[in-house]
Chains A and B, each alone.
Chain A
């Protein structure tokens, strides 16, 4: 099975900082990658699908890029409400695996 590796596992940043999270697949998955945000005690929320398509209603400071094996989620200007754990998920073929998450503080 394809493994999804996220880095870093956690990071600390300041309001206004540019934040980049990386997700690497052990084999190519095309652009079949989604990103989710999970705030503490809350349900996961879809941010991005197809590696770079912003889900409706998601602020434009979030963006995604990449294809094949290497992907990034970027928050252009970190806001206090962005404190969350972020997960990538591949969805090319089963099993539809999630990364282990990146905690942004």
Chain B
């Protein structure tokens, strides 16, 4: 059974940093591209960042480019999101999402984690 478990969310001040983790199990993590998708309170879904199966290719939305860094540790089946220079508008639940494709990736998402809440406030 595929499981994605996010952690690392919390309250942070504007300008601060936070690192999110997503522990994956139930599938061959190193074979699949992965993404982070966020949802602000009461709002819709926003794709944030994606990373290829080997970690060589990364993609970012314009809203986080230059501030967030996606990475992965295939030896530990873990997806990471380093978030720097956080803004109030980054407040959201952050979901880890699995791409069903391996090579090439598809960039839609067949499994989602439960999410971790990031609150940026002074």
A binding-site residues for B, Cβ under 8 Å = 1, 34, 36, 38, 43-46, 49, 55, 85, 87, 89, 91, 94-101
Determine whether the beta carbon of B108 is less than 8 Å from that of A34: yes
Is B1 located at the chain interface by the 8 A CB criterion?
no
Interface of B is mostly: loop
If A34-B108, A95-B62, A96-B35 touch, whether A43 touches B45 (CB-CB below 8 Å) is: no
Q: How far is the CB of B58 from chain A (nearest CB, A)?
A: 10
Determine whether the beta carbon of B112 is less than 8 Å from that of A43: yes
Q: How many A-B residue pairs have CB under 8 A?
A: 54
Of the residues A43, A55, A96, A100, contact of B47 by C-beta under 8 Å: A96
Determine whether the beta carbon of B45 is less than 8 Å from that of A94: no
Complex: A34 Cα to B112 Cα, angstroms: 14
- Top 3 nearest A-B pairs by Cβ distance? A34-B108, A91-B107, A98-B45
Chain B interface extent, by class: 20 to 34
Complex: A91 Cα to B35 Cα, angstroms: 12
Determine whether the beta carbon of A97 is less than 8 Å from that of B47: yes
Q: Mark B9-38, 1 if CB is under 8 A from A, else 0.
A: 000000000000000000000000001010
Closest B residue by C-beta to A1: B62
Is B106 located at the chain interface by the 8 A CB criterion?
yes
Complex: A25 Cα to B50 Cα, angstroms: 21
Closest B residue by C-beta to A6: B44
Determine whether the beta carbon of A98 is less than 8 Å from that of B113: no
Complex: A36 Cα to B45 Cα, angstroms: 10
Q: How far is the CB of B93 from chain A (nearest CB, A)?
A: 10
Closest A residue by C-beta to B111: A46
If A36-B45, A87-B45, A96-B47 touch, whether A43 touches B108 (CB-CB below 8 Å) is: no
Determine whether the beta carbon of A96 is less than 8 Å from that of B114: no
Determine whether the beta carbon of B108 is less than 8 Å from that of A44: no
Complex: A15 Cα to B107 Cα, angstroms: 33
Determine whether the beta carbon of A43 is less than 8 Å from that of B106: no
Complex: A26 Cα to B107 Cα, angstroms: 19
Q: How far is the CB of B49 from chain A (nearest CB, A)?
A: 10
**A45 neighbours in B (Cβ, 8 Å):** 112
Determine whether the beta carbon of A43 is less than 8 Å from that of B44: no
